[in-house]
Amino acid sequence: MPMPSRLGILRDPDFGRLFAATALGQLGDRIIFLALPLVAIVALNADEFQVGLLAAMTTAGSLLVGLPAGAWVDRMRKRSVMISTDLARAVALLTIPVAWWSELLTIWWLYAVALVHGVLTVFFDVAYVSYLPHLVGRSNLVEGNSKLSAIRSVTSISGPGMAGPLVGWLGAPVTLLVSSVGMAMSGLLATGIRKREQKPESSEHPQLFREIKEGLKFVLKHPVLRAIILGDAIFNLFLVMYQTMLLVFLEREMNLDSFSIGLILSGMGCGALLGALSATRVSKRVGQGPVIWLAPLVTCPLTALMPLAHPGWSVHVAALGLASLSLGGVIRFVAQSSFQQTLTPDRILGRMSATARFVSWGGIPLGGLLGGASGAVFGAKATLWIGAVGMTSSIIPYFLSPLRSMRELPKGEDPELVG
């Protein structure tokens, strides 16, 4: 096969710039995933509940601005939103090492930065999902999502692998400086994308609540979209409970250093990369509908290997369960994201994305709080058990919907197309 065919839409210069910007932004984000809670755990000696509250602050933006963000983004050029939020997130993260050097850093400072960063991330993600159909065309969405998922997976491998040694060498607060640089470079790269969107037509009298209602109605009336976001909501709630105590469990009960923790998280990235590379093939063989619920059914139970582990070789076996979780998660994500983008008209892409995010991510802050509270009362290991069982139960809405037997997902604008 000639090389241009293998590159596919990467031959397009604008998609190539988005691809590179995604790589840098996601690299910074993956470093945050490890470094930010370690700032609280190691540098500030935070307890389990404080770590859970930090996780809740990181994702609280989905509840605070989740629905209006979609309506606002639909009124703006998505590329401009992506650039401005990337640069603003870089500035917010930069304040942590500055505060550390100035001996001003407190847990409350981390809460504030986590909240601001989370709110900005809501706007970025809504714009990002809404921008891709404009940039590559709807016929190339599966390929575009697969390639972007692949680079996100690569950064999931390299990010924690870099973060572990950096935290050990520089300390967790200073490591966030690297994240800030990655976010800033991502925003600057996106400025080079030449393909411009037309400015959305603005209503003479924009009505925020009417626009939000239209997005909610479109998503919630469609039985497949509804099943997808409800399944995501259950999965994300218990995933965050699990993740909130995972670092505590590895650092305090398994006695692993930051480098070893980084390797385990990099293993999750390897699973995600394999999922991205195989997503299209698996969807074709299994069917786009069944793969959305079969992937978590097969991989989520393997997360129970971690609370079964003891210091030594069994931790590495448990890490394979986390890698499998990432593999299944990416396969499911590519299938359902491509469907959501294909089904939704351009004018409400932002609202569809924001509504789906609001419902499916709405429980994430609660998951952080529940994870912290459960860890404080029952311990980190028991919380990992609860998370593993809860993630597996997320298949129930999928299985009770038409996705159970639908090999190809429908396309069109009518929310009554399925069922």
pLDDT by residue (tens digit) across 16-30?
888 888 888 877 777
Question: Which string of b and e fits 219-252 if b means at least 16 CB within 10 Å?
Answer: beebbbbbbbbbbbbbbbbbbbbbbbbbbbbbbe
pLDDT of 45: 84
- Name the more confident of 360 and 188: 188
Query: Average pLDDT, stretch 53-72?
Result: 78
Residue among 40, 164, 162 nearest 96 (CA): 40
Q: How far is the C-alpha of 47 from the C-alpha of 43, rounded, in Å? A: 12
Amino acid 123 reads F
Q: How far is the C-alpha of 348 from the C-alpha of 222, rounded, in Å? A: 15
Q: How far is the C-alpha of 314 from the C-alpha of 309, rounded, in Å? A: 5
pLDDT of 413: 46
Q: How far is the C-alpha of 62 from the C-alpha of 43, rounded, in Å? A: 28
Percent of all residues in the chain with a pLDDT value above 90, rounded to a whole number: 15
Rounded to the nearest angstrom, the gap between the alpha carbon of residue 11 and the centroid of all alpha carbons in its chain is 26
* pLDDT grade for 243, boundaries at 50, 70 and 90: confident
Query: Average pLDDT, stretch 231-253?
Result: 88
Residue among 336, 370, 345 nearest 245 (CA): 370
| Long-range contacts, 73-77 (Cβ 8 Å, 24+) | 73/123, 73/126, 73/127, 73/130, 73/350, 73/354, 74/130, 74/200, 74/211, 74/347, 74/348, 74/349, 74/350, 74/351, 75/200, 75/202, 75/206, 76/127, 76/200, 77/196, 77/197, 77/199, 77/200
Percent of all residues in the chain with a pLDDT value above 70, rounded to a whole number: 87
pLDDT by residue (tens digit) across 133-182?
777 776 677 677 777 777 776 766 666 666 666 766 777 777 888 888 88
Query: Average pLDDT, stretch 227-244?
Result: 89
Lowest-confidence pick of 191-200, 288-297, 323-332:
191-200
Given CA atoms 325, 327, 331, 334 in this order, what sign does their dihedral have?
A: positive
Query: Average pLDDT, stretch 69-84?
Result: 82
Roughly what angle, to the nearest 10 degrees, separates helices 141-170 and 172-190? 150
pLDDT of 284: 77
Structure token digits, residue 101: 């050097």
Question: Does residue 3 carry a pLDDT above 50?
Answer: no
pLDDT of 205: 54
**How high does pLDDT run on average in the chain?**
80
Q: How far is the C-alpha of 129 from the C-alpha of 336, rounded, in Å? A: 12
pLDDT by residue (tens digit) across 274-293?
887 787 788 778 877 788 88
pLDDT by residue (tens digit) across 359-412?
777 777 788 788 888 988 998 899 999 999 999 999 999 888 877 777 665 554
Q: How far is the C-alpha of 340 from the C-alpha of 320, rounded, in Å? A: 30
Max CA-CA distance within the chain?
65
pLDDT of 386: 95
CB 364 within 8 A of CB 73: no
Q: How far is the C-alpha of 402 from the C-alpha of 191, rounded, in Å? A: 42
Q: What is the DSSP string of 59-105?
A: HTHHHHHHHHHHHHHHTS-HHHHHHHHHHHHHHHHHHHHHHHHTT--
pLDDT of 37: 84
pLDDT of 109: 93
In the block, which residue shows the tokens 């590895």?
250
